[in-house]
Amino acid sequence: MKTTKKNAHSEKPTDQSKVSTRERIFDTAIDLFSRKGFDGVSVREIARNVGIKESSLYNHFPSKDAILAEILDYYQTEMERISPSEKYLMEKISAMPAHEFWEKGLANFQKATQNPVMQKISKIVVLEMFRDKIARDIALNELFTRQQELSVTIFSLMQKKGLIKKSLNPELLAMEYTYGMLAMQFEYNILDNWNLDTAKVREKMLHHIKFISEYAKSVKGGEDQ
C-alpha cells in the first residue's frame, strides 16, 4: 500500500471533498466488510454508500475481491510499519526493567492497533481467514509468526544483556509468553468490540507479564538463579 493511502486513513476527521473516489470506496468497503462480512456486502451496496453508480466503481477497482486484497495489503503494511527495529529494542531493553519493557510494549501495540481503521480491518481478517487465503496468511504471519519472532528477538537480547537466565531457551520462553498474550488479546478485542469492561483481562495481561519476567529474571550480575 502506498504512503498516500496511509495518510488517507488517519484518525483525524477528513474533508470528504478532498478525498478521492477510490479512497472513499476503500473506506466504505472497510466499514461494510467489518460489519457484514465480505459475502454479506455487494458491489452495488458499496457504490450506493459511496454515492456513485455501480459501473463507476469498476473504474477504480476491477472487482470486490480486488478491494479486499487492497484492504488486507494496507493492514499488512501497517503491521510491518509498527514493528520495532532491533536497535530500538536494544535501547529500550537497556533503559528499564524487563516487566516495565513488556508493559510499555503492550501499551504501544494496543495503541497502534486500536485506531478505528485497524480495528475494523482486524475484524475483517478474523471473519475472512477461514475463506480467503490472503487473510489466512496475514492471521498466521502477523498475529502468530511475527509476534513469536519478535519475542524471540527480545528475549535473546535480554540474555545478551544479562537480564534473564542464560539457561533458558529464548524460543520456548517466547512461545510461553506470546501465546498466552495472544489469547488474552483476543479476549480483550471481543470485549472491546462489544463495549464491555476490559479491566479484568488487562489485569490478567499485566500479571502474565510479571510472571514471565520474574521467572526469567537472572540474579544480579547475569548469573542464573
Give the DSSP per-residue string, the chain: --HHHHHHTSSS---GGGS-HHHHHHHHHHHHHHHH-STT--HHHHHHHHTS-HHHHTTT-S-HHHHHHHHHHHHHHHHHHTSPPHHHHHHHHHHS-HHHHHHHHHHHHHHHH-SHHHHHHHHHHHHHTTT-HHHHHHHHIIIIIHHHHHHHHHHHHHHHTT-B-TTS-HHHHHHHHHHHHHHHHHHHHHHHHTT---HHHHHHHHHHHHHHHHHHBPPTTS---
Which amino acid does the sequence have at 46? I
Please classify residue 130 by burial: count the beta carbons closer than 10 Å to its beta carbon, then call 0-12 exposed, 13-18 middle and 19+ buried. Answer: exposed
What pLDDT score was predicted for residue 110? 85
- Closest residue by Cα to residue 73 from 138, 4, 126: 138
Give dist(CA 84, CA 102) in Å, integer: 13
CB atoms < 10 A from the CB of 82, how many? 12
What's the mean pLDDT when you consider all of the chain?
Answer: 89
Of 104-118, 136-150, 156-170, 186-200, least confident by mean pLDDT is 104-118
Q: pTM for the whole thing?
A: 0.83
Give dist(CA 151, CA 153) in Å, integer: 5
Residue located via cell numbers 498516500: 4
Mean pLDDT over 152-164 rounds to 94
Task: Please give the class, per CATH, of domain 19-62.
Answer: mainly alpha
Take residue 174 and report the three cell numbers written for it: 517466547
What dihedral angle (degrees, nearest 10) is formed by the CA atoms of 71, 77, 83, 88? -150
Better pLDDT: 36 or 223: 36
Give dist(CA 82, CA 18) in Å, integer: 27
What pLDDT score was predicted for residue 218? 79
Those residues whose C-beta lies under 8 Å from the C-beta of residue 178, and which sit 6 or more positions away, are: 144, 147, 148, 151
Better pLDDT: 54 or 225: 54
Check pLDDT > 60 for residue 43: yes
Give dist(CA 182, CA 174) in Å, integer: 12
Check pLDDT > 60 for residue 1: no
What pLDDT band is residue 224 in, cutting at 50, 70 and 90? low
Alpha-carbon Rg for the chain, nearest whole angstrom, is 21
Check pLDDT > 90 for residue 17: no
| 72-216 has CATH 1.10.357 classification | yes
Which amino acid does the sequence have at 62? P
| Domain regions of the chain by residue span | 19-62, 72-216
